[in-house]
Amino acid sequence: MNAALDAWPYVIAAYIVAVSGTVGLLGWSIVALRRAEGRADALDRQGKNRNA
Amino acid sequence: MHRFANPARFVRLARPLTAWFGWGGAVLTLIALTGGLLLTPPDYLQGDTVRIMYIHVPSAWLGMAGWAGIAAASFTQLVWRHPLAHVAARASAVPGAVYAAICLITGSIWGRPTWGTWWEWDGRLTSMLVLFFLYLAYIALAQAAGREEGGQRISAIFGLVGAINLPIIHFSVLWWRTLHQGESIGLSGSTIDNRILWPIPIALMGFSLIFLSVVLMRMRALLADAKVEARMKRLAST
């Protein structure tokens, strides 16, 4: 390890990668879940209306 | 285990757990990362670069735990034909791949100031890269298999065979002594000073809870998609 080297740009870059990856994964999963459950609920409602 | 074979019962349980795991994981991760960035002292040899450990170690753990989950679910699918096993395995693949990628990238960023290189074809780095490619192959295979039973069985066998790479990753630092440091955290204790070590278990717990929350969300989404597909087929046939 070079003592003169400033470590913080590396530390910050690594934290940006990890945090943005985790937030991106969570955001994408939430959107995908809402879309999928929304489609299923819409079909449920359609089925109920048809039966009624 | 078969109590949760009914998707509706599973979803009823998964819904509150998703939120609990997500929020709990976010709080613990925030505590660990704040502690790791601001409260722990720099290492006597590595200086401040040691702070990368608080994200690199949990992502390495989740990259490997994700595949262990795929292997366990694949085994359950092949032996007991549990209806949710394939869904659980598929749901673990993308988050596992994301954390394997984060592990590789943060490790590379850590390597530059510590070793003087972004990449080295050493045992640990190479076996982790192989794990990432295995994830990509599994995702493609599971996607292609869809709901066809034969295809799902092939992806389950691939999930089990791919688990051979996990002990290779774990023991790589003992088998091939190159740039990557040896094991510093084990079941019997740690060689790291407690003042530097304390955020690690909190980060492991926090990231793991977030991972579980993502897996539950993806399982619920896959089950909702399956429900829609089945209903569309029924509508088309009438």
Whether A47 shows a pLDDT value over 80: the answer reads no
CA distance B107 to B63: 13
pLDDT (mean) for B183-195? 80
Q: Confirm or reject contact between A16 and chain B (CB < 8 A).
A: no
Whether B197 shows a pLDDT value over 80: the answer reads yes
Q: Give the length of chain B.
A: 238
DSSP B52-86: GHHHHHHHHHHHHHHHHHHHHHHHHHHHH--TTHH
Q: Kindly determine whether residue B213 and residue A26, on different chains, have CB atoms separated by under 8 Å.
A: yes
CA distance B75 to B56: 29
**Tens digit of each residue's pLDDT (9 = 90 or more) over B118-139:** 999 999 999 999 999 999 999 9
Residue at B188: amino acid letter:
S
What's the pLDDT at B150?
83
The secondary structure of B159-202, three-state, reads HHHHCCHHHHHHHHHHHCCCCCCCCCEECCEECCCHHHHCHHHH
ipTM, two decimals, is 0.90
Comparing A19-33, B171-185, B209-223, the range with the smallest average pLDDT is B171-185
Whether B90 shows a pLDDT value over 90: the answer reads yes
Nearest neighbour of B218 by CB, restricted to A14, A15, A29 = A29
What's the pLDDT at A30?
97
pLDDT grade for B178, boundaries at 50, 70 and 90: confident
What's the pLDDT at B2?
64
What's the pLDDT at A45?
82
Whether B71 shows a pLDDT value over 70: the answer reads yes
What's the pLDDT at A1?
55
Whether A3 shows a pLDDT value over 70: the answer reads no
Q: How far is B204 from chain A (nearest CA, A)?
A: 13
Chain A residues close to B46, C-beta within 8 Å: 1, 7
Q: Confirm or reject contact between B47 and chain A (CB < 8 A).
A: yes
pLDDT (mean) for B195-210? 96
Whether A40 shows a pLDDT value over 70: the answer reads yes
**Tens digit of each residue's pLDDT (9 = 90 or more) over B215-226:** 999 999 999 999
pTM for this structure? 0.92
pLDDT grade for B26, boundaries at 50, 70 and 90: very high
On average, the pLDDT of chain A sits at: 88
CA distance B27 to B231: 39
Comparing A24-28, B164-168, B192-196, B208-212, the range with the smallest average pLDDT is B192-196
Q: Confirm or reject contact between A3 and chain B (CB < 8 A).
A: yes
pLDDT (mean) for B179-193? 78
Q: How far is B187 from chain A (nearest CA, A)?
A: 26
Q: Confirm or reject contact between A45 and chain B (CB < 8 A).
A: no
Do B123 and B173 touch, CB atoms closer than 8 A? yes
The secondary element (H helix, E strand) that includes residue B89 is: helix B85-115
Whether B156 shows a pLDDT value over 90: the answer reads yes
Whether A4 shows a pLDDT value over 70: the answer reads no
